[in-house]
Structure 1
């Protein structure tokens, strides 16, 4: 399936010709996101919608259907039209972490019910502590954690989230023991770190970049090198914990049964949109790195990430009951 979709996308690569646009319904197109307006996931969906609309010669709107870690939105896409008029703004967590979590009820199976259309952006992660607190570097934090096993806390956006599992990976690879404190989202977790009620968090940079730039949080390590040019003085996590790299992504997925030509039209419009310098800057300003991947490459990334996060979940014995 993916190879046939990729071949169809390559035919359209030179330009999005009128016949390719004609493969989409002649009405308003929708991208359904599973998280609240103002967050990084919603931001990506709206930037993409605005950028691809003129290329597709259609109105493209974003709908927010929040709850259940994105699955309310995902189910709406799967149960809706399969003609290419509706896509799911698919984040890494919903597509690769949730399916591997024992005990997590899912109304749909993203491995079977959704197909990859295009990846849009790499989501850089960073390790943050309270600005002005006792830890000026990642090494400082690790030394304190080793000196007092279980005495320091790490915050997350909830059990089974990327922040939670990133903390589990860190503990295992660094040989430390931390107290996990789950919150209802990254925003309240960051607030408690700033207030000194939690010590540390590894999270999507987009969730904390304004607090870092405003001097309220200290960025002590980057999860990968994609945002190194924006924070040249900040070391990589792998410098303190060899082999530890953490990054996420945001892409577009469609319902199984979506016509290959419609997949190709969306993928090609996304590829062209991401070549725009203004869109690239908007993404980078929010801790994101523009990164187009077509259906086959995006599907392969999902498979790799499911395997990697599944191993973390199994090793840590994480369950959602």
Structure 2
């Protein structure tokens, strides 16, 4: 029987016992990559670059923003699921990728519930109901609802595409109003907004940040926000829930890690992210871009994501939309 070197065994045992803390202490050991499921320049990308810049300074490593648009975020989600779970690859995602797609697609190459873990919510913006004032001259939400109910099936609404959050928000609105409306899908929010401004479609839901310039310029009119309270960027525009109780559609953006990431690494990313969110630079960005903060603790994030998943699963079911 071969001799066993006791000192070698003790050395191996010591290395094994120190491996997890050592990995945490070594973090970060190389540049970060933040996957973004949309093209550069949009709301999600703006937030990803803002938080990435501050994480780079705080953690002493460069941060690369990797825009992987396509399939409602599924392309980015698949790339993220294949990454090493060591905290060096992060995902900035919205409800579309985390909550809606699992109800919309029959199969996904990943499971956001078991493969991903939320670290922090970065910001949110309500979706807003906007109309072309020439096509729909109403100035209040009750007037618009009365018009739609008096003309069932005759009022069209645009969206950024079938199964998108904006489409599902329109379907929730149609169900709450209680009459048929005609959905006109576009390949993205920008062409839908172009046709709304031109009067080719009379109304749509859009994210507050993208609709705001056209509202302020007078090309379109905002009649309601899909938030719990009035938004400071649209004073005098009521929440839709004040007329249709319970109506809520918020476009939130969160930071995610792979679920197998070591806890000490996640805790450090969490701490630095929340420190950055509390800083004056991001406060200025939030004011300029009409973002609202989301002060949800990491312990409460799973319940928040689960509630959002339920909300959007029901919206997908009611709409009948499928992406396969």
- Asked whether the two chains share a fold, i.e. TM above 0.5, the reply is yes
Greater relative CO, 1 or 2 (CA 8 Å, sep 6+): 1
Contact persistence 1:221–1:237 (CA under 8 A): yes
2:111 is equivalent to residue 114 of structure 1: no
Q: Which moved more, 1:222-231 or 1:77-86?
A: 222-231
Give 3-state SS (helix, strand or coil) of 1:25's partner.
coil
What TM-score, normalized to structure 2?
0.87
Q: Counterpart in 2 of 1:49?
A: 52
- The alignment of Structure 1 onto Structure 2 pairs a total of residues equal to 302
Distance, in Å, in 2 between the alignment partners of 1:23 and 1:43 is 29
What TM-score, normalized to structure 1?
0.88
Distance, in Å, in 1 between the alignment partners of 2:102 and 2:270 is 24
Q: Could you tell me which runs of 5 or more consecutive residues in structure 1 were left unpaired when the two chains were aligned.
A: 1-18
1:311 corresponds, among 304, 309, 314, to 314
1:47 deviates by: 1.1
Give 3-state SS (helix, strand or coil) of 1:293's partner.
coil
Distance, in Å, in 2 between the alignment partners of 1:244 and 1:308 is 11
Q: Give runs of ≥4 in structure 1 deviating > 6 Å.
A: none
Contact persistence 1:121–1:251 (CA under 8 A): yes
2:28 is equivalent to residue 25 of structure 1: yes
Contact persistence 1:116–1:298 (CA under 8 A): yes
Measured at CA, do residues 21 and 187 of structure 1 come closer, stay the same or move farther in structure 2, by a change above 3 Å? farther
Give 3-state SS (helix, strand or coil) of 2:315's partner.
helix
Q: Could you tell me which runs of 5 or more consecutive residues in structure 2 were left unpaired when the two chains were aligned.
A: 1-21
Give 3-state SS (helix, strand or coil) of 1:320's partner.
coil
1:29 deviates by: 0.9
1:82 deviates by: 1.1
2:69 is equivalent to residue 66 of structure 1: yes
Measured at CA, do residues 281 and 21 of structure 1 come closer, stay the same or move farther in structure 2, by a change above 3 Å? farther
Measured at CA, do residues 60 and 293 of structure 1 come closer, stay the same or move farther in structure 2, by a change above 3 Å? farther
Measured at CA, do residues 20 and 207 of structure 1 come closer, stay the same or move farther in structure 2, by a change above 3 Å? farther
Contact persistence 1:153–1:181 (CA under 8 A): yes
2:127 corresponds, among 118, 125, 140, to 125
Contact persistence 1:23–1:262 (CA under 8 A): no
2:265 is equivalent to residue 265 of structure 1: no
Q: Which moved more, 1:134-143 or 1:152-161?
A: 134-143
Contact persistence 2:128–2:225 (CA under 8 A): yes
Q: Counterpart in 1 of 2:221?
A: 218
Distance, in Å, in 2 between the alignment partners of 1:116 and 1:288 is 19
Give 3-state SS (helix, strand or coil) of 1:48's partner.
helix
Q: Which moved more, 1:215-224 or 1:289-298?
A: 289-298
Q: Which structure: larger Rg?
A: 2
2:205 is equivalent to residue 202 of structure 1: yes
Q: What RMSD over aligned residues (CA atoms) do the two structures have, in Å?
A: 1.9
Distance, in Å, in 2 between the alignment partners of 1:305 and 1:53 is 30
2:286 corresponds, among 268, 283, 290, to 283
1:240 corresponds, among 237, 243, 255, to 243
Query: Any idea what the Cα deviations from partners look like across 1:48-96, whole Å, max 9, x if unmatched?
Result: 1112222222222211111111111111111012110000111111101
